[in-house]
Structure 1
Amino acid sequence: MTAISDEQNQNKPMRIGVLAYRMDFYTNKRLIIGKLPEAEYVPVCDWFSFQRRLALKINQVVGKPLINTFNLNNQFEDFDLNRVDVLHFSNGVSYGRTPWVSSFETILPRFSHLVTRHQGKEKPQLRMDDLTRRGLEALAGKACLRILAWSQASARMERDLLADFPSEFSQAILDKMQVLHPPQEPLVEAVEARDYRNEPLRFMLVGAAFFRKGGREILQTFEKLVRQEGLPLRLTIVSALRLEPYAAHETEADVAWAKQKLSENVDWIEYYPQLPNAEVLELLKQADVGLLPSYADTYGLSVLEAQACGKPVITTDIRALPEINPEIAGWLIKVPKNELGEALYITPEDRAELSRAIQAGLETIVRGIVADPEQIAIKGAAALARIRQEHDPQAYAETLRQIYQSALK
């Protein structure tokens, strides 16, 4: 790629390459696309995108996941054919010479044999295979401008991963690492306290992965508090009840159980399988408290959206959640975790203990809110204030602008 003169920079918009098949991905829209109004966001294709598309077609034809596409998602090689100034990936690494940036939730390089390392009580011994070496060389190389950790928790995991590899890679990569929390526009001007004396308290959960987000524990807790204790509670759930072979390890029987509970409690539960994001935000504005008592979450973007509506949130204390949901702005449920902040959920015994901790914490917190509902507005105002202070879209854009412009020098 040839150097671009100052005059060209002034006359032409900066061209930022984004993987074509990910242009509509929610995280890319939240973190990358359109963040700089003066830039042009260009869909780009590469060799790994082609392999991924072919693998998905083969899997579709044979009717089973014959070819694993995980590692294909997180590598990029376009042989420098895309005419862009800089590439910006979500969790990816590039092997070309075009300058690039990667925002990451957990670790980089994000390969299947590395990404589960942080799960469980004991960390597995890592080995330097050819794929890992290539990923580390790309990250340490000149073309990689910066790696942007979503949170301090992500940065901690990256440092822990790199400690297992030679310093020739680790220090060069760590020198490029920066924590940059996702941006979030405030969605209300101010928090208005309301009179709860004759109104039920309204709680809301948003998330397709219902069981991983603590949906089972929410239903069990709220059913107990409403049916047995008569507490004035209402619950709104927006979830596809999606099955995932991860964290909660739910089954079709669990989904059937959840559907039955939802149908049995329509007098106090409002349920939507899915809604456009704009409608979700309107429901959040009508709620009092958000819910994310999650087994596993890399960040918790729904927490930011609730806080931007002036709503405090109840979460577990895993990964980035204590960073974005401090006690002044919400409530934290303490759960069993490892040294990297990941909840323990690998064995059935781990999951049972985790479930008990979530349900017990949720019961205690909700009872406390019912006893003292004035704290909702106090914490909600603090939540909205932290959105303005720590997730300012203009400050986020300026950070990206400076990183991108370094590619033009």
Structure 2
Amino acid sequence: MKIGLTQNDYPIRRNILNKVSGFEYIFLRKNNNLFHSLSTVKKILFRKKSNIEGKYFFYQKPKIDILHLYNDINYSSQKWVTSFETLVPRFTETKNDHQKTEPQHIHNTKTENALKQISRKNCLGIISISQASANIQLELLKNYPQFQEVIKNKLSVIHPSQEVIPRDSEEVYKNIGVFNFIFVGTQFHLKGGVEMIEVLKKLRQKYNFKLTIVSSFKTDHYVTKVTEKEAQETKEMLKKEEWIDIFENIPNEKVLDLIKESHVGLLPTWSDTYGFSVLEMQAAGVPVVTTDIRALPEINNENCGWLIHLPQNRLKQALYFTNEQRDELKRTLKLQLENILEDIFTNPQQLLEKSKNSLERIKENHDPFVFSEKLNTIYSKKINIF
């Protein structure tokens, strides 16, 4: 079977590429997408940009059996599947519905037409990478009852697969002299990096530890609203701290090596669709401190790690939409993180048990073979698209 892919970025490699053995994966050119071609012509002739986010129309060259998209909707007759991290369709009209104190959606024809495409027989399924995202999808469908049941039946939740990363945890956690913490996140401020540093600086007066940061310090424009200048200033300030090691733009293999040298992972994030770094840490037997928003409580818990409980709306989105909410989020995050770290320093014997439980959780819930079987079942659906 030939599976057509439209991108070769991290989400595709993490969730789709080569996940079913024996299948051939073909990367399609951008001009295989009619919407992309039309947008290019419009830009050349009229110097205007078209918003083609979330939309795909396949020309059917080269020959493939199934088109597997990520966060996109197919408008052609080609058989297709899409995986998503928040919801589909991912339009300006839909993608921020959940990012409100009270989630709400404004009914519109563009979204209605996209849902109609999902309801057609040539759509084999839509795959949410978490239950939290599935819930956001179901919330959208309430506004379009004519498609609700048929799309609900196509919706499945398949958490990403994760290989076990070999490490001798017994040796790592024996007679800890200096605690090694690790933070992995491209957007340092968005992932709670500033609040983390404030807490750790305070605890430096009492405890001996090191922190490894893997980040490119990219900014975000929808949550923390930190400027590029501010992000770079933060990075330069942290480089002056002798207890902090910073790594930028390193290959994943190097990241995994750094994880294996660590005792505890830190991801006190304000916003996150999933948390792939958490899986990699757990797969190496490194327990993680995370917040409890979106998918994170599905992949982390008090048995294998630690949870920071943030104020959030009913779709598990942290509340940061007003100045008061942001202040409360920061206060809550720092207070709970400090309490958790104090507990780790004073009770280090818990680390080995949480390490073992982290590894067992990965084996039980992210088995690559089980993931492959679930994906193959969706690919193998027999349908008559005419």
TM-score tier by shorter-chain length is over 0.9
Structure 1 residue aligned with 2:74? 94
2:335 corresponds to: 360
Q: Is the 8 A contact 2:210 2:244 kept in 1?
A: yes
Aligned partner of 1:178: which letter?
A: S
Instruction: Provide the C-alpha distance between the structure 2 equivalents of 1:195 and 1:36, rounded to a whole number of angstroms.
Output: 36
Are 2:10 and 1:26 equivalent residues in the alignment? yes
CA distance in 2, matches of 1:51, 1:270: 47
Aligned equivalent of 1:143? 122
Rounded to whole Å, the distance in 2 between the matches of 1:389 and 1:53 is 46
Q: Could you tell me which of 135, 149, 154 is aligned with 2:133?
A: 154
Asked if 1:67 corresponds to 2:54, the answer is no
SS of the residue corresponding to residue 338 of structure 2 reads helix
Distance 2:259 2:38 in 1: 40
1:395 aligns with one of 370, 380, 385 = 370
Correspondence for 1:303: 278
Residue 162 of structure 2 is aligned with which of 184, 207, 211? Answer: 184
Structure 2 alignment gaps of length 5 or more = none
Is residue 169 from structure 1 mapped to residue 147 from structure 2 by the alignment? yes
2:215 is matched with 239
2:319 match: 344
Q: 1:190 to 1:272 in 2, by over 3 A?
A: closer
**TM-score w.r.t. structure 1 length?**
0.88
| 1:116 shift after superposition | 0.3
RMSD of aligned C-alpha atoms?
2.0
* Equivalent residue, structure 2, for 1:36: 20
SS at structure 1 position matched to 2:94: helix
**Secondary structure class of the residue paired with 2:340:** helix
Tell me the distance in 2 between the aligned counterparts of 1:340 and 1:398. 29
Are 2:85 and 2:129, in contact at CA under 8 Å, matched by a contact in 1? yes
Q: Does 1:207 align with 2:185?
A: yes
2:255 pairs with 280, 286, 292, which one?
280
SS at match of 1:124: coil
1:52 to partner: Cα distance? 5.8
Note the C-alpha offset of 1:264.
Answer: 2.8
Code of the aligned partner of 2:103: K
**What is the aligned residue count?**
379
Do 2:126 and 2:155's aligned partners in 1 also have CA atoms closer than 8 Å? yes
The structural deviation recorded for 1:375 is 1.1
Aligned equivalents of 1:198, 1:393: Cα separation in 2: 33
* CA distance, structure 1, for counterparts of residue 230 and residue 59 of structure 2: 47
Distance 2:164 2:182 in 1: 19
2:289 paired with 1:289:
no
The code of the aligned residue for 1:382 comes to N
Shift in Å, 1:401: 1.3
Measure the CA separation in 1 of the matches of 2:243 and 2:271: 27
Contact 2:105/2:140 (8 A) holds in 1:
no
Q: What is the CA–CA distance in structure 2 between the aligned matches of 1:247 and 1:284, rounded to whole Å?
A: 27
Q: Which residue is equivalent to 2:224?
A: 248
* Distance in 2 separating the partners of 1:186 and 1:287: 16
Q: Aligned partner of 1:320: which letter?
A: A
Cα offsets for 1:380-404 (capped at 9, x unmatched): 1101101111000011111111211
Pair 1:322–1:128, CA change in 2 (3 A):
same
SS in 1 for 2:372: helix
The 1-side partners of 2:366 and 2:346 are apart by 32
Contact map agreement 1:121 1:344 (CA 8 A) in 2 = yes
Task: Give the secondary structure class of the aligned counterpart of 1:113.
Answer: coil
Map of 1:41-120 to 2, 5 A cutoff? 41-44=25-28, 45-51=32-38, 67=49, 69=51, 72-120=52-100
Distance, in Å, in 2 between the alignment partners of 1:198 and 1:403 is 47
Deviations along 1:311-354, whole A, 9 cap, x unmatched?
Answer: 00000000000000011111000111001100011223222221
- The alpha carbon displacement at 1:212 in A equals 0.6
Do the aligned partners of residues 196 and 230 (structure 1) sit closer, same or farther apart at CA in structure 2, a change above 3 Å counting?
farther
Partner deviation per Cα, 1:290-314 (whole Å, 9 max, x = no partner)? 1111110000001001001110000
Q: 1:68 to 1:243 in 2, by over 3 A?
A: farther
Name the CA distance, whole Å, in 1 between partners of 2:49 and 2:170: 53
* 8 Å Cα contact 1:308/1:387 also seen in 2: yes
SS in 1 for 2:281: helix
